[in-house]
């Protein structure tokens, strides 16, 4: 049973001191490695690892081809500004190939997990000589996996998987007692800019979690474009998280006076504290229709945009 530390009880300075010592002790003279996705959790754990290990920590971004527009480059630049060297590993093709023909949501998550850890990361770890992997798993990831709601791609021990045996490395998860609000506080204390610690969550399976049905390079382009537009409209909403989803079903539309059996984008925007429960943000109808018009105008093939008005539960934040 993992002992939760709520944001109210979190003394960030002491927590950092404790975790820095624990990480140093666990790593010893070895090399430690971590992957940065640009999300709040991996960014915070990168800063924590950097504080503990300096150049003994190797940080990589695995460009899996399922990230948002310009993401690997932007995150690398921010971390370089913070004195943390980040290497981008190009792996788009490997992920695209692995995702071919996969439509089941849980199978998609499993394929991404296997591809990430076994096919790409294990090789990077081997080459680096690192014995330890630092990971930003948080308590919410564990809860949902154990409850069987969703298999979070970064949860092993809770699933009875020994990462040392399965993938060849030991995993440290120093954020596992925290939830998102606590991680944000910690990230702030560790010197992350507000652009990063205040960032909306983004899941490990990336845009693949926002595509219902097969994840193809073409469908990724569609959801990536819609995401960029939607994020521009909602960035000042103050919401916990927002997302654009590409549906599998097509619907009849009309463009230039002709029938266009086109694509559907669903927008979700959530009010939540820790992602365990969530309600939709009451966005203005003007904002919604202006955003919808831009999406149908600028994202090829899209003829329908909907806004989700159900809550979690029974919904979940992501669609897969």
- The footprint of ligand XMP (CB under 6 A) covers 140-141, 144, 149-150, 152-154, 201, 203-205, 209, 241, 275, 312, 316-318
What minimum distance in Å lies between the beta carbon of 27 and ligand XMP?
23
- CB 241, min distance to ligand XMP, A: 5
Q: How far is the CB of 195 from ligand XMP (least distance, A)?
A: 18
Is residue 137 a contact partner of residue 155, using CB atoms and an 8 Å limit?
A: yes
Among 19, 41, 29, smallest CA distance to 131 is for 29
Q: How many angstroms separate the Cα of 126 from the Cα of each of 85, 131, 137, 167, 294?
A: 19, 9, 22, 10, 46
Cβ 315 to ligand XMP shortest distance, Å:
8
Q: Which is nearer to ligand XMP, 47 or 275 (CB)?
A: 275
Nearer to ligand XMP, 199 or 250 (CB): 199
> Minimum CB separation from ligand XMP for residue 39, in Å?
7
Q: Which of these, 152, 181, 287, lies nearest to 232 by C-alpha position?
A: 287
* Shortest spacing between CB 28 and ligand XMP, in angstroms: 28
Residue 87, beta-bridge partner list:
60
Neighbours of 148 (CB within 10 A): 8
Looking at the Cβ atoms of 49 and 301, the one nearer to ligand XMP is 49
Q: Closer to ligand XMP at the Cβ: 293 or 316?
A: 316
Q: Nearest 10 degrees: CA dihedral of 61, 65, 69, 72?
A: 10
Q: Minimum Å distance from CB 320 to ligand XMP? A: 8
Q: How far is the CB of 318 from ligand XMP (least distance, A)?
A: 3
Nearer to ligand XMP, 131 or 268 (CB): 268
Residues 6+ apart with CB under 8 A from 116: 62, 64, 153, 204
Query: Can you say whether the dihedral through the CA atoms of 148, 313, 232, 180 is positive or negative?
Result: negative
Shortest Å, Cβ 157 to ligand XMP = 16
The Cα-based distances of 278 to 130, 270, 308, 318 in angstroms read 39, 6, 12, 11
Q: Could you tell me if 276 and 240 are in contact, meaning their C-beta atoms sit under 8 angstroms apart?
A: no
Tokens of 287: 């904002």
Q: Which residue number, 205 or 301, has a Cβ lying nearer to ligand XMP?
A: 205
Cis peptide bond upstream of 314, omega within 30: yes
- Kindly tell me which of 288 and 319 has the beta carbon lying closer to ligand XMP: 319
H-only helix segments in the chain: 12-27, 40-53, 71-81, 92-99, 105-114, 122-128, 139-146, 163-166, 180-189, 194-197, 217-234, 285-298
Nearer to ligand XMP by Cβ, of 137 and 264: the residue is 137
In the complex with ligand XMP, the residue whose CB is nearer, 172 or 303, is 172
Calpha distance 27→46 (Å, rounded)? 15
């Amino acid at each position: 049973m993992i002992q939760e530390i709520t944001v109210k009880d979190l003394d960030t300075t002491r927590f950092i001191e404790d975790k820095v010592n624990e990480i140093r002790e666990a790593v010893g003279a070895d090399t430690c490695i971590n992957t940065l996705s640009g999300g709040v959790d991996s960014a915070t754990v990168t800063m924590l690892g950097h504080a503990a290990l300096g150049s003994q920590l190797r940080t990589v971004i695995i460009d899996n081809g399922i990230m948002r527009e310009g993401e690997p480059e932007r995150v690398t630049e921010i971390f370089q500004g913070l004195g943390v060297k980040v290497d981008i590993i190009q792996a788009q093709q490997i992920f695209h190939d692995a995702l071919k023909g996969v439509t089941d949501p849980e199978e998609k998550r499993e394929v991404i997990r296997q591809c990430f850890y076994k096919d790409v990361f294990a090789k990077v770890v081997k080459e680096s000589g690192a014995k330890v992997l630092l990971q930003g798993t948080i308590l919410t990831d564990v809860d949902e996996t154990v409850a069987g709601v969703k298999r979070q791609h970064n949860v092993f021990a809770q699933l009875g998987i020994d990462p040392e045996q399965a993938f060849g490395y030991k995993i440290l998860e120093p954020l596992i007692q925290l939830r998102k609000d606590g991680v944000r506080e910690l990230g702030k204390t560790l010197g992350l800019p507000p652009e990063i610690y205040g960032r909306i969550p983004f899941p490990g399976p990336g845009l693949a979690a926002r595509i219902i049905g097969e994840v193809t390079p073409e469908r990724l382009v569609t959801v990536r474009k819609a995401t960029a537009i939607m994020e521009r409209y909602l960035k000042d909403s103050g919401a916990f998280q927002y997302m654009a989803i590409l549906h599998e079903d097509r619907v009849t539309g009309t463009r230039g006076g002709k029938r266009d059996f086109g694509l559907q984008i669903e927008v979700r925007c959530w009010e939540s504290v820790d992602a365990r429960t969530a309600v939709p943000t009451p966005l203005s109808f003007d904002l919604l229709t202006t955003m919808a018009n831009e999406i149908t105008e600028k994202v090829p093939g899209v003829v329908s945009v909907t806004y989700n008005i159900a809550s979690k539960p029974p919904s979940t934040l992501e669609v897969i």
